[in-house]
């Protein structure tokens, strides 16, 4: 902390400050800048050599001049962690935002986070019931999974995230989740919406919030999720908590990343985003899971808004390549007035197979889910055909599938914001009931033994 | 190899520049106070540019850089199988022991267990004249794999003494007349292909038990295949299916820049899976490399070389090796990231200009060869490709497709319909059938190639008919074309679709695949006859025995039952004529 203060800034470009320095500065070291008017700013070393040091300034470089004093703090970024984090609201750089006291550190944790040894991971396989049929039946979530919500501007992704946070539970267990919430560049209105809901349900006392809003420094967003995940790791792996991390909006995070890349004049990858964005995102998303010998877990729900509703945009694309599936929100369903407007067809849970079946959910779950998909996918495709040739041209099978696609959307998907459906009766039995609108001979994905056992009209008691 | 010390001049992410040393290209150096492992990748005036295999935060200019004189190498010998390594061959279980569950840095670990005692059985004897690749003796490495201890490349002479017995991998098992001592362990630089005598043209299929692959788009032993596809289309599941069921003798599985949990899955699942060819645990023949997306990118770049070198070593013993790399795009991105830190002139989409030559060099290490000892060995390489947005016009997909001989094109649309494997049967291809057809005729059935052609032709016709259906609906088609659509649907739903997660369906033996294909053609034949005899299409396609035949594939013992089920179906189809 006694480091020298340098006044050797040569260049300032976007959020970056370049200085000639004297003594060696470590890569990743934390930096403090003191402006002529006494304002303090924080930053981090991005590049260091004998001749030049490049610092990214979290609060932006407004008002920085050549007289600004730069001090290297001799350490990389660390977050004070302790169980006192629970129930607290911190800002995007980890300082109290709720008027409460500083966090008394039990330990100082490096926020970059080391990679979990793949050999030390434990396979996630405990089914989490969210009470939302579309998710529980078709993209089942398990504890320790990272499952993002791919949404777009103006869609109710926040409602869905909150509904999941409220209702998520392990069937037959009363282990509760602690929520770590991380806001990156969202509006104050959205933020208030989250906080009020968490307050309303009493979840706030069991949550830890890291908040960087739309009018907070953009570059700071690059550390906010790292702070949140550092807190989550501490709670999960040092104190056995099951942590649900919700972070929103990843799109703002990626914009900040792009800004830094541009200021460094790096060769951009696709659409101006840095070539290392995949690796950078992986260093966040991979901080989920279960590890051997620890009771706790980290389950991640990143929310991102797809620019132009385009799932091939680099932000959703690179995310989908890293996360263990995705829940895709559809504007079309939303416009039809269906809540939650989840399009199950492009949605996926890669860990579903491990989390469902006998002893976990129910023996027929996989079969039912496959059949729902197949029938709905075919039914939707037929809508296009009907628009051209009319229903008359359809054979019996196609007619039934076509009808089913409406039933699926209006009854199975549609549910209340506070409606919490159980996996057995609320979701799977309901699915059977709806599937019975189709002749059994067309239900080729269902094993005969499940038809005999669960089909509402054809079961053999 | 005199040691030389220099100092760090600059640090930019994984790339460190040192001054005061003059190392060779690709030499391993120790970086910083913690001695992090790095590799020299560029020499530039008095500066040496190093890619560092571990996290660099907290390292400062002025810290030391030390030469080792070695190039990046792997340790080869008994003890590779059943292991899981990071990209630079550090065993992950050992890293766990020294670091705990998080991978920190500054820890070295040998690729092979240097203490472990193996039972070496000499097969050569004193007085034998041996040259590189000659087998000196064997070790039963795992229950199913015999490890052949070879004379390393570059060494030859007359054996002075050799003894069977218990040795660790560094002890001398054989001494040559000139005094050269040979231990079981060899070292080999990963960026240099291991030598062989000559390449042969592949003539045997790599049988995978996956119907669409084996039947329509086969890979040869020693061949190369690329699987491009958007996320969620089935690259990893396909690669894992190949690792599980293909009839290679050795499998090297590289998780390159992908998910941690996927490696955990392989680790937990494989020990319980039984190899259909040996009846023993699949793990016995497998080596894994896991350098996941959040592990250092430089080690990710190295991981494919580490993997292919291990594969070559087993090939040199005369084994058929299959190597899966999931995903080669992440390897290419690692190259891109390093290249951009070097401020190299970028090529397309920021990838370095040498991207396509690196891809070609890598796939060139596949092949069926005459080994140095005159044996026959092969490496089949299957690379997953992850094109941004699923658009394969990008450099990595294109660079790969120019080289590989098999293209398994995954299709987001099929995946969305849960048609798995989501391999598009219209645009995928294999260039191997002409060289494999004789094998099929000799080993499966004389008309195998013709049956395959008929099946592909039906799928082609279907796609043309579908265009008409999109305009007028299927009822408007003449009845024979409607039948063709039904037959094609049967090919898709009964034959091409295969559930990797179903205990029985996950693997189909090649004979059974052939029988299933014949059953489809027989359905077509019988239905045509019935329709000509006045039967209704609706009745023909809905005979209950057809659905028994189709669903039957999920039950154990299908191979024994299929003929009977087929007879029933044919009888019922004939009977539909009388119904009218
Ligand atoms: N052959 C298959 N059988 C059944 N399901 C499959 C198959 N291939 C892929 N899937 C499904 O698709 C999901 C994504 O597959 P994966 O191989 O992980 O995709 P990618 O590696 O291309 O992102 C899997 O989790 C699984 O649900
Ligand atoms: Mg994958």
The three-state (H, E, C) secondary structure of chain A, written as one string: CCCCEECCEEEEECCEEEECCCCCCCCCEEEEEECCCCCEEEEEEEEEECCCEEEEECCCCCCCCCCCEEEEEEEECEEEECHHHCCCEEECCCCECCCCCCCCCCEEEECCCCEECHHHEECCCCEEECCCHHHHHHCCEECCCECCEEECCCCCHHHHHHHHHHHCEECCCCCCEEEEEEEEEECHHHHHHHHHHHHHCCHHHHEEEEEEECCCCCHHHHCHHHHHHHHHHHHHHHHCCEEEEEEECHHHHHHHHHHHHHHCCCCECHHHCECCHHHHHHHHHCCCEEECCCCCEEEEEEEEECHHHCCCCHHHHHHHHHCCEEEEECHHHHHCCCCCCEEEEEEEECCHHHHCCCCCCCCCHHHHHHHHHHHHHHHHHHHHHHHHHCHHHCCHHHHHHHHHHHHHHHHHHCCCCCCCCCHHHHHHHHHHHHHCCCCHHHCCCCCHHHHHHHCCCCCCC
pLDDT of A75 strictly over 80: yes
User: What are B383's two structure tokens?
Assistant: 């690379």
* pLDDT, average across residues B262-280: 87
- Hey, what are A442's tokens? 């067309």
The full DSSP string for B188-209 is EETTSPPP-SEEE---SB---S
d(CA A152, CA A169): 27
Confidence check: pLDDT of B460 > 60: yes
Q: Look at residue B4 and tell me whether its pLDDT is greater than 90.
A: no
Strand partners, A244: A179, A299
* Nearest to A369, CA basis, from A319, A408, A401, A406: A408
Mean pLDDT of A52-67: 91
| Buried-state track A385-397, b at ≥16 Cβ within 10 A, e below 16 | bbeebeeebbeee
Helix and strand element counts for chain B (H, E): 16, 27
B60·A276 Cβ contact <8 A: no
Q: Two tokens at B73?
A: 């190498």
Q: How far apart are the first and last CA of chain B?
A: 91
Question: A75 to chain B nearest CA, in Å?
Answer: 7
Residue B214: pLDDT band by 50, 70, 90 thresholds?
very high
Instruction: Determine the Cα–Cα distance for residues B209 and B245; give it in Å rounded to an integer.
Output: 6
pLDDT band at B517 (very low <50, low <70, confident <90, very high): very high
Compute the residue count for chain B: 580
- The three-state secondary structure class of B173 is strand
Q: Cβ of A27 and B257 within 8 Å?
A: no
**What's the rounded Cα separation, in Å, for the pair A438 and A425?**
20
Work out the pLDDT band at B269, boundaries 50, 70, 90.
confident
Question: What's the confidence (pLDDT) of residue B277?
Answer: 83
Percent of chain A's residues with pLDDT above 90: 76
Question: Which of B260, B414, B466, B542 is the best residue to mutate to test the A interface, defined by the most A CB atoms within 10 Å of its own CB?
Answer: B260
**From the alpha carbon of B499, which atom of ligand 1 is closest?**
3
Q: Is the preceding omega at residue B485 within 30 degrees of 0, hence cis?
A: no
Q: Select from B227, B228, B234, B292 the residue to mutate for testing ligand 1; criterion: most ligand atoms less than 8 Å from CB.
A: B234
Q: Is A322–B416 a contact, with Cβ atoms under 8 angstroms apart? A: no
Pair A62, A43: CB distance under 8 Å: no
The Cα of B536 is separated from the nearest Cα of chain A by a number of Å equal to: 14
Cβ-Cβ pairs closer than 8 A, A with B, add up to 217
Closest-CA residue of chain A to B467: A385
Q: In a mutagenesis test of the A interface, which of B33, B230, B231, B396 is the best target, namely the one with the most A β-carbons within 10 Å?
A: B231
CA nearest A272: which of A312, A219, A315? A315
d(CA B180, CA B155): 8
CA B455 to chain CA mean position, Å: 27
Query: How confident is residue B580, by pLDDT bands cut at 50, 70 and 90?
Result: low
pLDDT mean over A87-101: 93
pLDDT tier at A177, thresholds 50, 70, 90: confident
Does B297 reach chain A within 8 Å, measured CB to CB? yes
Q: Are A386 and A420 in contact (CB under 8 A)?
A: no
Q: Does A107 touch chain B (CB under 8 A)?
A: no
Peptide bond into A249 cis (omega under 30): yes
Nearest-atom number in ligand 1 for the CA of A349 is: 25
Q: Tens of pLDDT along B567-576?
A: 999 999 999 9
Task: Give the residues across from A305 on adjacent strands.
Answer: A151
% of chain B exceeding 90 in pLDDT = 83
B58–A26: do the CB atoms touch at under 8 Å?
Answer: yes
User: Hey, what are B560's tokens?
Assistant: 């024994």
What local confidence, expressed as pLDDT, does residue B202 receive? 93
Pairing of strands A78-81, A149-151: unpaired
Gap from A187 CA to chain B (nearest CA, Å): 29
Q: What pLDDT does residue B551 have?
A: 86
Rg (CA), chain B: 27
Ligand nearest to the CA of B498: 1
- Answer whether residue B578 shows pLDDT above 90: no
For residue B344, the chain A residue with the least C-alpha distance is A267
The pLDDT, as a whole number, for residue A172 is 74
- Sort B538 into a burial class: Cβ within 10 Å, 0-12 / 13-18 / 19+: exposed
Three-class secondary structure of residue B559 per DSSP: helix
Would you call B350 an interface residue with chain A, using a CB distance cutoff of 8 Å? Answer: yes
Q: What is the mean pLDDT of chain A?
A: 92
- Summarize the confidence of residues B220-224 as an average pLDDT: 97
Rounded Cα–Cα distance for residues A130 and A195 (Å): 20
To the nearest whole percent, how much of chain B has pLDDT over 70? 99
> Any chain A CB within 8 A of the CB of B98?
no
Helix (H) or strand (E) holding B538: helix B537-541
Q: Model confidence over A235-248: pLDDT tens digits?
A: 999 999 999 999 99
pLDDT the model gives residue A458: 87
Asked if residue A453 has pLDDT above 50, the reply is yes
pLDDT in tens, B519-566: 999 999 999 999 999 999 989 998 999 988 998 998 899 999 999 999
Rounded to an integer, the average pLDDT of A247-260 is 93
Check residue B579 and give its pLDDT: 63
Q: What is the DSSP letter of B333?
A: H
Reply yes or no on whether the pLDDT at B483 is more than 60: yes
- For residue B290, give every residue at least 6 positions away whose Cβ sits within 8 Å of its Cβ, in sequence order, or none: A118, A119, B84, B85, B86, B92, B255, B260, B263
Entry pTM: 0.94
pLDDT(B396) > 60: yes
pLDDT over 80 at A173, yes or no: no
More confident residue, A448 or B380: B380
Chain A contact present for B504, CB below 8 A: no
Distance of CA A264 to the CA centre of its chain: 28
Q: How many other CB atoms are there within 10 angstroms of residue B266's CB atom?
A: 25
Look at B96 and A117 and tell me if their CB atoms are within 8 Å.
yes
Nearest ligand, measured from the Cα of B330:
2
Give the residue whose CA is nearest to atom 27 of ligand 1: A350
Ranking A9-18, A306-315, A440-449 by mean pLDDT, the lowest is: A440-449
Interface of B with A in 76-95 (CB under 8 A): 84, 92-93, 95
Contact yes or no for B254/B304 (Cβ under 8 A): yes
Residue nearest ligand 1's atom 9 by CA: B234
Beta bridge partner(s), residue B75? B187
What confidence tens digit (pLDDT) does each residue in B46-79 have?
999 999 988 898 999 999 999 999 999 999 999 9
* Residues 138-167 (A) with a CB less than 8 A from some CB of B: 144
Across A358-368, average pLDDT: 93
ipTM: 0.91
Distance CA B444, CA B215 (A): 12
Which of these ranges, A370-374, A406-410, B302-306, has the smallest mean pLDDT? A370-374
CA B301 to ligand 1 center in whole angstroms: 25
Return the pLDDT at B3.
Answer: 58
Distance, in Å, from the CA atom of B295 to the CA atom of A116, rounded to the nearest integer, reads 9
Q: Distance from B297 to chain A by nearest Cα, in Å?
A: 8
Say yes or no to pLDDT of B266 above 50: yes
Determine, for residues A346 and B416 on separate chains, whether the beta-carbon distance falls below 8 Å: yes
pLDDT at A296 > cutoff 50? yes
For chain B, the average pLDDT equals 93
Q: Which of residues 247-306 of A touch B (CB under 8 A)?
A: 266-270, 275-276, 278-279, 282-283, 286-287, 289, 291-294
Distance CA(A297)–CA(A291), nearest Å, equals: 8
Q: Out of A273-277, A327-331, B169-173, which region has the weakest mean confidence (pLDDT)?
A: A273-277
Ligand 1 pocket: which of B230, B232, B265, B423 to mutate (most atoms within 8 A of CB)? B232
- Of A201-215, B8-22, B346-360, B468-482, the range with the lowest mean pLDDT is B468-482
Contact of A119 with chain B, judged by CB distance below 8 Å, is answered with yes
Ligand 1: residues within 6 Å at CB? A 348, 350; B 229, 231-237, 420-421, 498-501
Q: B221 CB near a chain A CB, below 8 Å?
A: no
Q: For the residues B298-317, what does the mean pLDDT come to? A: 96
Tokens of B188: 């080999």
The SS3 of residue B495 is helix
Q: Which range (A20-24, A450-454, B217-221, B250-254) has the least confidence?
A: A20-24
Check whether B118 has a pLDDT greater than 50: yes
At A1, is the pLDDT very low, low, confident or very high (cuts 50, 70, 90)? very low
Rounded Cα distance, B557 and B567, in Å: 17
């Amino acid at each position: 902390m006694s480091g020298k203060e340098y006044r050797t800034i040569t260049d300032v470009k976007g959020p970056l400050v370049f200085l000639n320095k004297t003594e060696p500065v470590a890569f990743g070291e934390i930096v403090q800048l003191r402006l002529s008017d006494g304002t303090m700013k924080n930053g981090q070393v991005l590049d260091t050599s004998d001749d030049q040091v490049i610092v990214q300034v979290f609060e932006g470089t407004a008002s920085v001049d050549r007289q600004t004093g730069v001090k290297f703090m001799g350490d990389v970024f660390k977050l004070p962690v302790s169980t006192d984090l629970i129930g607290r609201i911190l800002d995007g750089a980890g300082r109290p935002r709720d008027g409460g006291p500083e966090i008394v550190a039990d330990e100082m944790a490096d926020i970059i986070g080391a990679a979990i040894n793949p050999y030390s991971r434990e396979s996630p396989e405990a089914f989490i019931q969210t009470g939302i049929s579309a998710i529980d039946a078709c993209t089942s979530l398990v504890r320790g999974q990272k499952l993002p919500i791919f949404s777009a501007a103006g869609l109710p992704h926040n409602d869905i995230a909150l509904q999941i946070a409220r209702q998520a539970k392990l069937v037959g267990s009363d282990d509760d989740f602690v929520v770590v919430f991380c806001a990156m560049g969202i509006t104050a209105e959205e933020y208030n919406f989250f906080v009020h809901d968490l307050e309303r349900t009493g979840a706030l006392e069991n949550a830890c919030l890291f908040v960087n809003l739309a009018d907070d420094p953009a570059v700071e967003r690059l550390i906010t999720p790292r702070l949140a995940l550092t807190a989550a790791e501490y709670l999960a792996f040092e104190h056995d908590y099951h942590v649900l991390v919700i972070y929103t909006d990843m799109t703002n995070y990626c914009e900040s990343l792009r800004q830094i890349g541009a200021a460094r004049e790096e060769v951009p990858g696709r659409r101006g985003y840095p070539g290392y964005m995949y690796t950078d995102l992986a260093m966040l998303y991979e901080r989920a899971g279960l590890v051997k010998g620890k009771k706790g877990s980290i389950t991640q729900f990143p929310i991102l808004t797809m620019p132009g509703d385009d799932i091939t945009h680099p932000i959703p694309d690179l995310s989908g390549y890293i996360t263990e599936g995705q829940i895709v929100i559809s504007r079309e369903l939303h416009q039809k007035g269906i809540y939650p407007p989840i399009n199950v067809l492009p949605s996926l849970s890669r860990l579903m197979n491990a989390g469902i079946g006998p002893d976990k959910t129910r023996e027929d779950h996989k079969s039912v889910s496959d059949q729902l998909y197949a029938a709905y996918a075919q039914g939707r495709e037929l809508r296009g055909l009907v628009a051209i040739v009319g229903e008359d041209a359809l054979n019996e099978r196609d007619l039934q599938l076509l009808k089913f696609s409406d039933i699926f959307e209006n009854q199975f998907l549609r549910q209340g914001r506070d409606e919490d459906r159980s996996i057995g009766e609320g979701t799977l039995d309901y699915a059977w009931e709806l599937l019975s609108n189709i002749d059994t001979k067309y239900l080729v994905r269902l094993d005969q033994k499940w038809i005999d056992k669960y089909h509402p009209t054809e079961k053999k008691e | 190899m005199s040691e030389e010390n220099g100092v760090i001049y600059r640090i930019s992410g994984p790339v460190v520049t040192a001054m005061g040393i003059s190392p060779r290209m690709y030499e391993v150096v120790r970086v910083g106070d913690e001695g992090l492992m790095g590799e020299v990748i560029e020499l530039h005036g008095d500066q040496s540019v190093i890619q560092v295999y571990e996290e660099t935060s907290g390292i400062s200019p002025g810290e030391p850089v030390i030469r080792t004189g070695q190039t990046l190498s792997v340790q080869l010998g008994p003890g590779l199988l059943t292991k899981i390594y990071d990209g630079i061959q550090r065993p992950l279980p050992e890293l766990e022991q020294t670091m705990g569950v998080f991978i920190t840095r500054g820890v070295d670990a040998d690729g092979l267990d240097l203490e472990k005692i193996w039972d070496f059985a000499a097969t050569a004897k004193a007085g034998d004249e041996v040259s590189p690749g000659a087998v000196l003796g064997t070790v039963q490495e795992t229950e199913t794999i015999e490890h052949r201890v070879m004379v390393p490349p570059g060494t030859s002479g007359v054996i002075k003494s050799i003894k069977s017995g218990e040795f660790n991998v560094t002890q001398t098992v054989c001494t040559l007349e000139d005094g050269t001592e040979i231990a079981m362990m060899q070292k080999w630089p990963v960026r240099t292909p291991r030598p062989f005598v000559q390449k042969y043209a592949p003539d045997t299929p790599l049988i995978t038990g996956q119907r669409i692959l084996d039947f329509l788009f086969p890979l040869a032993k020693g061949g190369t295949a690329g699987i491009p596809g958007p996320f969620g289309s089935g690259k990893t599941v396909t690669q894992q299916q190949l690792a599980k069921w293909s009839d290679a003798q050795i499998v090297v599985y590289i998780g390159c820049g992908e998910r941690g949990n996927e490696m955990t899955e392989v680790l937990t699942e494989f020990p319980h899976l039984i190899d259909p060819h040996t009846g023993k645990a699949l793990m016995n023949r497998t080596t894994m490399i896991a350098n996941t997306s959040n592990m250092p990118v430089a080690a990710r770049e190295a991981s494919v070389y580490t993997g292919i070198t291990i594969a070559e070593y087993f090939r040199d013993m005369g084994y058929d090796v299959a190597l899966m790399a999931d995903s080669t795009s992440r390897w290419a991105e690692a190259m891109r990231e390093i290249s951009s830190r070097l401020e190299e002139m970028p090529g397309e989409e920021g990838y370095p200009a040498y991207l396509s030559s690196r891809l070609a060099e890598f796939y060139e290490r596949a092949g069926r060869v005459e080994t140095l000892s005159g044996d026959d060995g092969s490496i089949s390489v299957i690379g997953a490709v992850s094109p941004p947005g699923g658009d394969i016009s990008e450099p990595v997909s294109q660079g790969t497709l120019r080289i590989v001989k098999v293209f398994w094109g995954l299709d987001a649309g099929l995946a969305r319909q849960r048609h798995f494997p989501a391999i598009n049967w219209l645009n995928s291809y294999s260039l191997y059938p002409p060289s494999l057809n004789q094998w099929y005729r000799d080993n499966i059935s004389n008309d195998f190639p013709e049956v395959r052609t008929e099946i592909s032709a039906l799928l082609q016709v279907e796609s043309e008919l579908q265009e008409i259906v999109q305009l007028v609906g299927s009822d408007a088609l003449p009845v024979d074309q409607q039948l063709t659509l039904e037959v094609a649907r049967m090919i898709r739903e009964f034959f091409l679709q295969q559930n990797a997660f179903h205990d029985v369906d996950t693997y189909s033996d090649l004979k059974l695949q052939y029988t299933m294909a014949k059953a489809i053609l027989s359905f077509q034949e019988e239905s045509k006859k019935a329709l000509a005899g006045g039967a209704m299409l609706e009745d023909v396609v809905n005979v209950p025995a057809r659905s028994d035949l189709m669903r039957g594939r999920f039950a154990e013992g299908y191979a024994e039952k299929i003929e009977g089920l087929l007879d029933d179906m044919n009888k019922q189809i004939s009977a539909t004529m009388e119904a009218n």
